[in-house]
A and B are shown apart, each in its own frame.
Chain A
Amino acid sequence: MPTVEIGLTVVDPRRLPALSALPALKACDIAEFLGDDAALETLPADAAASHLYFGSEFCEHLFPDQAALERAIELSGKLGLTLVLATPAANDALVAKIGQAAALLPESAEILVNDWGVAHFLRAAYPRRHLVAGRQLAKMIKDPRVPSAAWLKPYPGSYGTPGHRRLLERLGIGRIELDVPPFATPDLYSVAGVDLSVCLPYAYVAKGRICKIGSLRRELPEKFAPGRPCHRECLGVVEVGAAASSAGLVSSARGNSTFYRHDAAMAALVRDTLAQGLVTRLVFSGV
């Protein structure tokens, strides 16, 4: 298997201390952090992480404050990991915060963007910063209920067009992140001109700006409204599907986003793309 980079995502800054006592971040540590041994079946046992993803790619309210970001910077330095600041779709206020955060990052750090506007802003404000296009920018059908590959045909993955490659060049994006959709084949990961990451063991299906659990402590008239701050309830509670879909996939939800867990065929596909050298980074995260 060609050399592969390995990332671990930490969304909740309260979980950073769990990693701080480690001398390095090994595969077994990632499994323990995620509480998920099966998630690591794709990796050799002696593999070690190379990247620490910090922040949420899905929610504007989980963007880290400066103190948390500084702790993540310190931890990534201590563990010898490249820091990747995860960013979600953003309004103008959050774009400004992302700009302030970008100024704090070490030179080697990357920023994961899930909003073309954020990418455009960062390219202008920080032209040397490494940008990674997140999976929300990779359009494809990822419905865990689809019964056959025929359902995916009308809207194939978005990065197959020359226009997208020109856009990535224009924005200075050198890496893209993809999920594994149902019935995926390796050709989805044959994207010229950029490096590819795959997120596992969960693929995201949809995210909303209206957050059910984020309204838990709001009074009725103000529940389920866009942009309203929450108490980050999603960090403490998740929805786990009670049964698999007819296609055999188990869904979960955290906060405003829904996911499905990869099945055996998806895990095999990831191994195949690694063996072919199509994918050069694996990014592990919980839901």
Chain B
Amino acid sequence: MRVTAPISRIDEIPALAAAGADELYCGVVPKEWIARFNTGAVNRRYFGNLGGLEELQRAVELAHRSAARLFMVLNAQSYGGGYQDALVELAGRFRDFGGDAVIVADIALIAELRERLPDLAIHVSSVAGCRNSAGIGLYRELGVKRVILPRDVTLDEVGAMAKAAEGVEIEAFVLNDGCVFEEGTCHSIHLPAKQGGPICVDNRAFVYRDGRGGQISARTARKLRDNDADYQRWLWYRFGCGFSTTAEGHPFGPCGLCAISRLEAMGVASIKIAGREGASERKLKSVEMVRAVVDRVHAGSPHQEVSAFAVGIRNTEEHCRAGFMCYYPEVRWK
């Protein structure tokens, strides 16, 4: 099982690789792209990207020198027809630099890249929302090397897909950055804060109505209010406990450390740390946490011991007990 971590600056590469990242992924916004399209939307993040092709080439060299692979994201949900040639061209440059794979969400772009750059490995982005073995079968026919599963899948579902994957590697989320909505099915924009920010935390006012638009009972309203309060607490966890860290710098937020033993046993090839836009220190501490757990799994430590170790890293058991911080909460229910 490999540890896959994000970078947004080339100086992060040696440190993250030394901390235990086997694989790194990055985005890039070439100056030529901005000049041609008047937008920085090469992938689904405007920020957290390398600044150009020279940096991208340097990143590949640095990663390989650090014994890590480097992947490049082209992970917008979709691109219009006018971008297709430029995307293939960019992916081709990355391949020529020695880049190891592109991470792609748009299924049509996957097919296009397979046809025009057959020697470039393709990883299906979590944004593609591949939730079943039949989907993996389709992507296998399209020639992909790996499918990155979306966040909100259960361990049983991961196991079923991993079992059926046959020749396609499976990557699963393990740390940081939880979207509220499902990958690939959110059609909103993370607007600037003054315009509402991400829609999932845009506290628009609403009223509850019954299914026909009528009033609901006071008793139901009370239950809904209590549930809303629980949901707000869950949201706080989902967004990294206010993007906070322990005193040692270990990040809070969506976490699957306790599930690593089971993911390993299922044959999951790689576990993903999210957060390209995060601070370098956050990425470093994230890799350290995940690597420490993976090393214990690889050393053959029993699941319970690994789980206890994982919980102990942050030394804030109350957060773990809440269950709201878990990518795979069922691991704590059994």
Contact = CB atoms under 8 A, between A and B. Distances in A.
B81 A161 contact: yes
Contacts, number: 239
B207 A120 contact: no
B131 A115 contact: yes
A139 to B, nearest CB: 4
A139 B182 CA distance: 13
22 contacts: A89-B129, A92-B132, A92-B161, A92-B164, A94-B132, A118-B132, A118-B135, A120-B134, A143-B187, A143-B188, A145-B195, A154-B37, A155-B79, A206-B185, A210-B234, A223-B234, A227-B152, A227-B153, A237-B220, A239-B208, A241-B206, A242-B204
B279 interface: no
**What is the interface residue range for chain A against chain B?**
35 or more
Given A92-B160, A205-B187, A237-B208, A145 B213 contact: no
B204 A120 contact: no
A239 B134 CA distance: 34
A164 interface: yes
B131 A205 contact: no
A222 interface: yes
Interface stretch (B104-112, B242-250, B297-305, B308-316): B104-112
Contacts of A225: 323, 329-330
Interface string A38-73: 000000000000000000000000000000000000
Contacts of A1: none
B134 A121 contact: yes
B211 A117 contact: no
A95 B136 CA distance: 13
B266 to A, nearest CB: 14
B228 interface: yes
B131 A117 contact: yes
Interface in B196-216: 196, 199-200, 202, 204-213, 216
Interface string B133-162: 111111000000000000011100100110
A106 interface: no
Nearest to B212: A35
Contacts of A245: 204
Interface in A208-235: 208-210, 212-213, 215-216, 220-227, 235
A115 B111 contact: no
A118 B207 CA distance: 35
A142 interface: yes
Contacts of A198: none
B157 A91 contact: yes
A241 B189 contact: no
A151 interface: yes
A92 B157 contact: yes
Given A115-B131, A154-B39, A157-B80, A206 B209 contact: no
A158 interface: yes
Contacts of B112: 161, 163
B228 A221 contact: no
Given A115-B132, A238-B211, A241-B204, A89 B185 contact: yes
A208 B323 contact: no
Interface in B92-113: 106-109, 111-112
